[in-house]
Every structure is written in C-alpha cells, then in structure tokens.
C-alpha cells in the first residue's frame, strides 16, 4: 500500500523536509517534530521549517529541529503533516515542497486535496499525530519516548485534552502505551493545554468582555483587532483557545471568534458542539477544517465580516 511506497521513498532519500500549516498548533508541531525524530533515527538528514510557533511547546524533545531557514536548496523528499492543501503552508516554504524530488503528506482534514505524490489521509482520525502513530506501527518504525511525547502532545491538543467527540480507543491505547514508555503525560498535558502566558491571558480577558449572544444564546461572537494585538504585544499562538471559551457556555451551539491579520483581513475561527457543520460554513468563505472546528479568512471590515459570518451560521441553526 501507499505507506510501503512512502517507506521506500524515505529509504532512498538523504535529505527530507517536513512542513506543516501556518500558525502551527500542537498537532502540527508534535507531528512535525515526532516525524523528524523518527526519520533522523533512520539515518536521514531531516528538518522542520516553520517561521514561528507558540513558545509553550518548547518543552518538546527535538523542538530544536524546527528551523526558520532551510539548510538545503533542494530536498530529496518533502512531507507535510496536518495540511489539507499545500496553500496552507507558509508561502515562503512552498517552493521547497514543489522542488523536492518526491512528496508525501499525512493529514486528517475533511476537505483534503490530495496534493502530494503519496497521500495518507484519514479524516476520522482525531489528530494527524494519531495517523503517524498507526503508520509507524504498521511500518515497524520504533516509537521512542521522545517521539511518543511529541505525538501524544499532538493528540492531546487536537482532542482538546481527550474530550472531543473524535477520540477513539486507539487514542487511549496510545496514551497508556506512552505512559508505560516513560512519557511524562501530565507534563505534556499541562504545558500544552493549561499553561498560559500573560499576553494570551490578556487576549482571553478582552474577548470574554466583548462576547455577544445571538440566536437565543445558541451562537456566541467575539473579536480582536490588530490594534488590540499591538496594545498587548500578541505572540504566536496567543489567539489559540479563545474560541473554546464561548463553546463551553451552556446552550451554545456555535462559537465564532474573529481576529484581524496584519493585512487587515479577518481570520474567523469557528467551533460547534452538536449538529452544525462549521467546515460547511467556512467553505462558503473559501476556508474549511473539521465538522466541529473550522476556519476561514474574510476580507471585509469588522462589521461586514461579522454580519456575513453570523448570517451564514444562522442558516445552520
Ligand atoms: Mn490537526
């Protein structure tokens, strides 16, 4: 199967590049670094390119393999993780994917475009890292304690701390196995889910204060502008998790968080609880994601962007 082909390509390659989506989350980071360590253990010159990532993931073993600048002009192989489409990768790194002799991808997004030479896509998997776990097991690639720490962190963050509906038996089997391998599960959980920074906390304060209810309390909306970001000195990852606050309010079905990007457009982050497919909502704006967690970009001023996304969500309530 495709996995055997990927293993053969890995064996034939000397230099391997790993890429994930822009604004990487725990799954993108844990999957990238876990894969990088596995490839290095196979004797490959592997590295991860990311322009920035949230500082709370600094505890991950092997995080130093994340570079901003490529070490090679052309790689033998390029692999993306947690990316539904190559356009989700940071623009400056896309040419390195395209120039690579062979490409592969591991992903769990529903609207994946199968953009690589070899595509391992499973949209019922709760995390890309969980696809890597089963792929490594199938290929008999040794999952060391360090690799397991990275993959488990990807699973913890993408499942919202083992609580989202997509979790499977394998999720817990792997967590139990990782614990027996000596992985510090409580540290991985605390660092990736609970520890916050002062600027991230400020984001939560601002957005909670502005939270508005619509549709009889089934929809919540909040936002941040780039002026807010400048005022508190927002860092990579500080907006993560804000949208979850609204989702956890009793009676809420959809939580919407808009934040402004440096170019003035708004990134919309959506979450749902039961019946609304927010990936469908975001598709109307050229975005996508998962049934209960999705995003898109709206190139409109705040009030218009807010009206547009609320109108679209209303159709699904
Ligand atoms: Mn993911």
Ligand 1 centroid – CA 251 distance (Å): 26
Q: Is the dihedral of CA 4, 21, 236, 198 positive or negative?
A: negative
Please write the tens of the pLDDT for every residue from 6-61.
999 999 999 999 999 999 999 999 999 999 999 999 999 999 999 999 999 999 99
**Look-up of token digits 């230099």:** 15
Ligand 1 centroid – CA 287 distance (Å): 15
- Indicate the Cα dihedral angle 231, 237, 243, 249, nearest 10°: -90
Q: Tell me where in the chain the CATH 3.10.310.30 domain(s) lie.
A: 198-314
Residues of the chain with pLDDT > 90, as a percent, come to 94
Ligand 1 centroid – CA 82 distance (Å): 5
Ligand 1 centroid – CA 205 distance (Å): 26
Ligand 1 centroid – CA 27 distance (Å): 5
Q: Is the dihedral of CA 213, 239, 244, 132 positive or negative?
A: positive
Residue 228 confidence class, pLDDT cut points 50, 70, 90: very high
At residue 48, the pLDDT reads 98
Ligand 1 centroid – CA 241 distance (Å): 14
Residues of the chain with pLDDT > 70, as a percent, come to 100
Answer yes or no: is pLDDT of 1 > 80.
Answer: no
Ligand 1 centroid – CA 30 distance (Å): 10
Total residue count of the chain as it appears in this document: 317
Ligand 1 centroid – CA 35 distance (Å): 14
Query: Cβ neighbours of residue 171 under 8 Å, at least 6 residues apart?
Result: 126, 130, 155, 159, 162
At residue 296, the pLDDT reads 97
143 and 136 in contact (C-beta within 8 Å)?
yes
Ligand 1 centroid – CA 33 distance (Å): 14
What does the block give as tokens for 140? Answer: 């008999």
**Look-up of token digits 């670094």:** 33
Residues 165-182, mean pLDDT to the nearest whole number: 94
Residues 251-261, mean pLDDT to the nearest whole number: 97
Q: Tell me where in the chain the CATH 3.90.1640.10 domain(s) lie.
A: 2-194
Who surrounds ion ligand 1 at CB < 5 A? 27, 82, 128, 158
pTM of structure: 0.87
Ligand 1 centroid – CA 290 distance (Å): 9
Ligand 1 centroid – CA 174 distance (Å): 17
**Look-up of token digits 């993560």:** 240
Please write the tens of the pLDDT for every residue from 114-166.
999 999 999 999 999 999 999 999 999 999 999 999 999 999 999 999 988 78
At residue 153, the pLDDT reads 98
Ligand 1 centroid – CA 158 distance (Å): 6
Query: Cβ neighbours of residue 41 under 8 Å, at least 6 residues apart?
Result: 142, 144, 147
Domain spanning 198-314, CATH class:
alpha beta
Ligand 1 centroid – CA 34 distance (Å): 14
At residue 88, the pLDDT reads 94
Domain spanning 2-194, CATH class:
alpha beta
At residue 290, the pLDDT reads 87
Residue 103 confidence class, pLDDT cut points 50, 70, 90: very high
What does the block give as tokens for 126? Answer: 């709760």
Residues 104-123, mean pLDDT to the nearest whole number: 95
């Amino acid at each position: 199967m495709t996995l055997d082909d990927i293993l053969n390509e890995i064996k034939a390659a000397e230099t391997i590049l790993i890429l994930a989506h822009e604004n990487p989350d725990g799954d993108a980071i844990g999957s990238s670094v876990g894969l990088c360590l596995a490839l290095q253990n196979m004797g490959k010159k592997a590295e991860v390119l990311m322009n920035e990532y949230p500082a709370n993931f600094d505890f991950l073993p092997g995080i130093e393999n994340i570079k901003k600048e490529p070490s090679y002009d052309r790689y033998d192989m390029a692999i993306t993780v947690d990316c539904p489409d190559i356009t989700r990768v940071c623009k400056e790194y896309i040419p390195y994917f395209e120039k690579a002799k062979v490409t592969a991808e591991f992903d769990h997004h529903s609207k994946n475009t199968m953009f690589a030479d070899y595509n391992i896509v499973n949209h019922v998997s709760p995390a890309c890292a969980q696809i890597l776990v089963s792929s490594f097991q199938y290929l008999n690639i040794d999952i060391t304690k360090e690799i397991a720490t990275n993959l488990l962190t990807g699973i913890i963050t993408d499942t919202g701390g083992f609580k989202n509906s997509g979790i499977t038996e394998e999720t817990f089997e792997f967590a139990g196995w990782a614990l027996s391998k000596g992985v510090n599960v409580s540290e991985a959980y605390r660092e990736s889910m609970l520890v916050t920074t002062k600027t991230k906390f400020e984001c939560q304060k601002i957005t909670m204060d502005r939270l508005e209810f619509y549709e009889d309390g089934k929809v919540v909306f909040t936002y941040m502008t780039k002026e807010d970001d400048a005022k508190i000195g927002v860092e990579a990852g500080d907006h993560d998790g804000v949208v979850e606050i609204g989702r956890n309010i009793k009676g809420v079905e959809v939580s919407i968080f808009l934040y402004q990007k440096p170019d003035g457009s708004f990134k919309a982050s959506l979450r749902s609880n039961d019946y609304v497919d927010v990936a469908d909502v975001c598709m109307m704006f050229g975005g996508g994601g998962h049934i209960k967690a999705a995003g898109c970009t709206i190139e409109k001023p705040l009030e218009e962007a807010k009206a547009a996304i609320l109108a679209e969500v209303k159709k699904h309530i």
